Structure 1
């Protein structure tokens, strides 16, 4: 009994019970739906702690929030205490004594919470199943444990990056990223240059690891996650109970735990269900309430995951950690869920375009890539929100610590691509949503077309595509298209003829013997095939009818 009490003290917070109750066993009183009747699916119910557990959990939760506030405001707090003369030994000793007393009191509160859990049959049953699963991670025990939503830190690992034989020799430091070309200097010049830039390097490091990373990924801030927790719990309950979602913990090569959710529709949605859409969320998005809903409603099987530091995932969302997380997610889809590369589609919204383009670059056999409201490079967007005088410092910080080079990675992928541009996007425009030409999605399209069809995207072709990109609605688009007299059938036949006679690897030389009119027409045809407009703001959920397979020749 003492051992059970200790497990209740140190056990995770239980949020919800997903499983259908045994009709032969009397259930404890609770609010929410009761047992299912006549085979109707039971939608679960929130865990109801008893009075002692509820009040002690509230105290510990507030203590956690206050600790987070003090952590984020610690530089200002230390500066204030220093100005007031409190940073001295005679003042710090009483503070240490008060802190020790507070910790003892919080420990006592945790013990009382353990007693409250110990007297609750639902929690005792949960903690017993959790301990059994840790000892024997069998499919039967995993299925029982999946009936509970609890603090993900205590969830046993379902898949590790090194379970695949081809990955065992991989460096634990992380997967490969594209790096900027090094500048060649003489030995003496290089040393002097490094010493001279040391202060800037230190400042860049501090910016990236403090407010820079949190500005870029606000979803990783604990207080924001705390505020969103009821919404996240509700979203996860819907995925598990209504969609049959399977939650899993993946361990990446850097040691971070990645929180994932898989909805399998292979047996219910025919050919669409046999396709897996791996979803990459935005900088404040979670799979519980994010872009996974769009392909899910269309009928695809879906695998969602949370960035490092988001939801149940651990770590911080720097580019290397992001790529490591995406790598283990793809490996999990192939080796654990049983999907083939040709049946996997990568779908991303906003900043998720970085991990999506990295996956397409690193796994070129994937079926297709869909990027919604994404951008070509982070630097122009970072410069937009920072003072002009900070330009050199911002450039150095982004390039060294937050180099989200989506366009460069995208050009390494040979497969079908669809770009979705929001015509009222207020986030990835550099001058405002009213200026559609400042949308960085335009530059993503131009970079892709210029790489794949360099002979078509000459000065005349680029000018025609820019004119088409300047159209803010379907009527203006059609006007540009008709003014250049674009013939879709002719454009398709030209490309098919080239594909038959030449290699299918990009870049293509199609267009080198064309007239100026032919290049402009082919450039507009390609732009329209690679990009679709969606008349909405950045954060508007993408409707299911807008999620389409990319064009293939």
Structure 2
């Protein structure tokens, strides 16, 4: 037994923190509300320091650095663990949970923060038959649209390429190769900087602190989900169905930004509003494995929704999808794939990645950027959102410096405007004629809340009349969007309805892109 315990301590995972359960008294000498950081004893701590120097010293030898680094990362030199009662207790709980995956054992294991790769799986896509998965076990994304412009002509030239023209042939192949290399090297890291290991290492203390808060103050439950592509998705669930008031019966699934983690991301906004909340990390972020390409993102979103339904006990019409920034892609994919979802809230999101990618790349690279985005990183949020029939709320940051193409001082270059216009033009095409688009753009261009209200009142919008017109249309027809309401209406009436709908679908938040959204600004979308 002693030899088994010693071996498990040697090869076991790194332990970072111990979360004290709410019903457990604080150990003598410990400070803090509930949990405490794990402190290795002298032998374990000094072994760590000595090994760091040994590895540096061994760089002059031909193979020892690689070997020592591997052994060090695997924890095979942590000789003092078996004498540390806290670590011994942890490793015993971990082994017992692996053997017997009971709720009681999982509850004990959740009291520890350790290397997530050792965490047993809590849910797998294989446990349910998802209608969103293909026979091969990969969730389906919509086929990519044909490329347009210069890049399209280059690609089309391949079909008619003369065999003797080897130079052009090699140029086309070089074009494709460059596109692939850009996407899989700096392109992916620019798009999702949170997947870069150095950034995660720098943020580790902040992430550990945020995770401790969710677990120790909100009784959060950490779970590992296995997606259909084999990626392991790190999630956090806070259940407020008992004490969260009326909002606790609604689950908010949070989709983070490109450098966001559930530990310090947008989960706090709906939590403060009393909602039950499920957060998850992108593939390659935090404890999640994989790489955050669109297909992997969709696979992760799919298993998160399946987990919410089949393990947490929520119905689709109890779920709000809340996304910030680039999280709008997985949010709109979810609403497109699960149309029964209650509603979606998109904060500081955009309609399409391509204009934003072109903004930061040289003009001469335009054909290459077009092909790379459409082929490997096609975050076509607007196209996916238009397939959702339910309530939608867009939140626009008025000083957004990230999703504007001409700088934060030009509010009309905010791609959230394009998302709103595309949504209104699809749902209400007879209202959003040339006149309707013009007045909505005028409202969007107002530089302050006072001027925005001035535009609205200047057209004498009668909110009660607008509601009655829409309700009358809805009562007489049981149809899905797009609606034909407004086709027999005066230009004045269409202008009123256009402004009324714009203000219902979009709310302004006076801030920059990365400012956390206050709970008071988080609302359920408007329903007719």
TM-score, normalised to structure 2, is: 0.92
Equivalence for 2:92: 128
Q: 1:98 aligns with which of 61, 77, 86?
A: 61
Query: What is the SS of the residue equivalent to 1:192?
Result: coil
Equivalence for 2:486: 511
Query: What is the SS of the residue equivalent to 1:198?
Result: helix
Q: 1:483 aligns with which of 458, 474, 491?
A: 458
**Does the aligned pair in 2 maintain the 1:280–1:349 contact within 8 Å?**
yes
Equivalence for 2:19: 18
Residue 50 in structure 1 maps to residue 51 in structure 2: no
**Does the aligned pair in 2 maintain the 1:50–1:120 contact within 8 Å?**
yes
Following superposition, the deviation at residue 51 of structure 1 comes to: 2.3
Q: 1:258 aligns with which of 212, 225, 233?
A: 233
Following superposition, the deviation at residue 116 of structure 1 comes to: 1.2
Following superposition, the deviation at residue 313 of structure 1 comes to: 0.2
Q: Deviations over 1:384-437 (max 9, x none)?
A: 111111111111110000000000000000000000000000000001000000
Q: Deviations over 1:70-109 (max 9, x none)?
A: xxxxxxxxxxxxxxxxxxxxxxxx99x8241224545676
> Structure 1 residues 411, 118: closer, same or farther in 2, change over 3 A?
same
**What CA distance in whole angstroms lies between the structure 2 residues aligned with 1:108 and 1:358?**
41
Q: 2:193 aligns with which of 209, 218, 224?
A: 218
**What CA distance in whole angstroms lies between the structure 1 residues aligned with 2:133 and 2:447?**
51
**What CA distance in whole angstroms lies between the structure 1 residues aligned with 2:415 and 2:109?**
44
**How many residues of Structure 1 are paired with residues of Structure 2 in the alignment?**
514
Following superposition, the deviation at residue 180 of structure 1 comes to: 2.6
**What CA distance in whole angstroms lies between the structure 2 residues aligned with 1:448 and 1:484?**
22
Residue 152 in structure 1 maps to residue 116 in structure 2: yes
Q: 2:286 aligns with which of 311, 336, 344?
A: 311
**What CA distance in whole angstroms lies between the structure 1 residues aligned with 2:132 and 2:395?**
38
> Structure 1 residues 179, 247: closer, same or farther in 2, change over 3 A?
same
Structure 2 unaligned spans of 5+: 163-167
Per mean C-alpha deviation after superposition, the further-off stretch among 164-173 and 449-458 is: 164-173
Q: 2:183 aligns with which of 192, 208, 222?
A: 208
Equivalence for 2:83: 119
**Does the aligned pair in 2 maintain the 1:292–1:302 contact within 8 Å?**
yes
**What CA distance in whole angstroms lies between the structure 2 residues aligned with 1:60 and 1:253?**
39
Per mean C-alpha deviation after superposition, the further-off stretch among 100-109 and 55-64 is: 55-64
Structure 1 unaligned spans of 5+: 34-41, 67-93
Following superposition, the deviation at residue 172 of structure 1 comes to: 4.3
**Does the aligned pair in 2 maintain the 1:172–1:253 contact within 8 Å?**
no
**What CA distance in whole angstroms lies between the structure 1 residues aligned with 2:353 and 2:471?**
35
> Structure 1 residues 58, 549: closer, same or farther in 2, change over 3 A?
farther
Residue 139 in structure 1 maps to residue 103 in structure 2: yes
Per mean C-alpha deviation after superposition, the further-off stretch among 106-115 and 431-440 is: 106-115
Following superposition, the deviation at residue 189 of structure 1 comes to: 6.1
Kindly report which structure 2 residues correspond to 1:104-503, keeping only aligned pairs within 5 A, or say none.
104-106=67-69, 113-166=77-130, 170-182=134-146, 190=159, 192=161, 197-503=172-478
> Structure 1 residues 166, 401: closer, same or farther in 2, change over 3 A?
closer
**What CA distance in whole angstroms lies between the structure 2 residues aligned with 1:287 and 1:7?**
31
Residue 32 in structure 1 maps to residue 7 in structure 2: no
> Structure 1 residues 411, 16: closer, same or farther in 2, change over 3 A?
same
**Does the aligned pair in 1 maintain the 2:12–2:75 contact within 8 Å?**
no
Q: Deviations over 1:488-532 (max 9, x none)?
A: 111111101110112330000011111111111110110000000
**What CA distance in whole angstroms lies between the structure 2 residues aligned with 1:345 and 1:111?**
42
**Does the aligned pair in 1 maintain the 2:343–2:392 contact within 8 Å?**
yes
CA RMSD of aligned residues (A): 2.6
> Structure 1 residues 166, 291: closer, same or farther in 2, change over 3 A?
closer
**Does the aligned pair in 2 maintain the 1:277–1:300 contact within 8 Å?**
yes
> Structure 1 residues 135, 532: closer, same or farther in 2, change over 3 A?
same
Query: What is the SS of the residue equivalent to 2:159?
Result: helix
**What CA distance in whole angstroms lies between the structure 1 residues aligned with 2:388 and 2:210?**
33
Residue 550 in structure 1 maps to residue 528 in structure 2: no
**What CA distance in whole angstroms lies between the structure 1 residues aligned with 2:489 and 2:186?**
52
Following superposition, the deviation at residue 32 of structure 1 comes to: 3.2
Following superposition, the deviation at residue 328 of structure 1 comes to: 0.2
Residue 541 in structure 1 maps to residue 516 in structure 2: yes
Q: Deviations over 1:102-161 (max 9, x none)?
A: 245456767774311111111111111111111111111111111101111000000001
> Structure 1 residues 191, 334: closer, same or farther in 2, change over 3 A?
farther
> Structure 1 residues 59, 428: closer, same or farther in 2, change over 3 A?
farther
> Structure 1 residues 223, 166: closer, same or farther in 2, change over 3 A?
closer
Following superposition, the deviation at residue 177 of structure 1 comes to: 1.0
**What CA distance in whole angstroms lies between the structure 1 residues aligned with 2:262 and 2:406?**
30
Equivalence for 1:9: 10
Q: Deviations over 1:39-91 (max 9, x none)?
A: xxx51111111123224445778999x9xxxxxxxxxxxxxxxxxxxxxxxxx
Query: What is the SS of the residue equivalent to 2:17?
Result: strand
**What CA distance in whole angstroms lies between the structure 2 residues aligned with 1:134 and 1:98?**
39
